[in-house]
Amino acid sequence: MKNHFLYILTIFSSICFAQGSISELLKTHNSESIPYITVQELAIPKTEAILLDAREISEYEVSHIQNAIHVGYDDFDIDAVAEKITDKSSKIVVYCSLGVRSEDIAEQLNNAGYNNIYNLFGGIFEWKNNDLTVYNNEDEPTENVHAFSKKWGKWLLKGIKIYD
């Protein structure tokens, strides 16, 4: 009985630690000025939203969420987005690898008057970790996921990690 209890406690602790880890990471790097939307809220049932990918083009070409519009991070251009999304009340979900860069882009959208913006909690990594499909630059399903860097790639638990 004691061993059974320790086994359950160990499993529970590791699950809680794993789940809390991305939360802690995001708390460290984000101000939470933009509300999060979870992968489950976005995908099940599919939420009607405009998806913006705030990663670099090399990341987007390896893997992206279907129908996402690449807006980038280093070369983000709010005017280019404003030309594509004229209704500032449109529901917009911004994502990146984990949710750090996407918060920066979402804040710029908010400052430009967009008022229905969400940051995808855990980004494309959490999307893939939940067994949801990602697509390559030919819009075909792929197991490859751009993992950004070895430091950040440790949060990608499923799929095939691709680095530049």
Please give the pLDDT value at position 47: 81
Burial class of 105 by CB neighbour count within 10 A (0 to 12, 13 to 18, 19+): buried
Minimum mean pLDDT among 42-46, 80-84, 157-161: which range? 42-46
Is the pLDDT score of 17 beyond 70? no
Catalytic residue among 39, 42, 96, 145: 96
- Any idea which architecture 32-162 has in CATH? 3-Layer(aba) Sandwich (3.40)
Question: Is residue 52 classed as helix, strand or coil in its secondary structure?
Answer: strand
Residue 5, pLDDT > 50, answer no
pLDDT tens digits, 128-153: 999 999 999 999 999 999 999 999 99
Question: pTM here?
Answer: 0.84
Q: State yes or no: is 16 an active-site residue.
A: no
The answer to whether residues 119 and 147 touch, using CB atoms and an 8 Å cutoff, is: no
Q: pLDDT higher for 102 or 15?
A: 102
Q: Please, what is the average pLDDT of the chain?
A: 88
The pLDDT value given to residue 14: 38
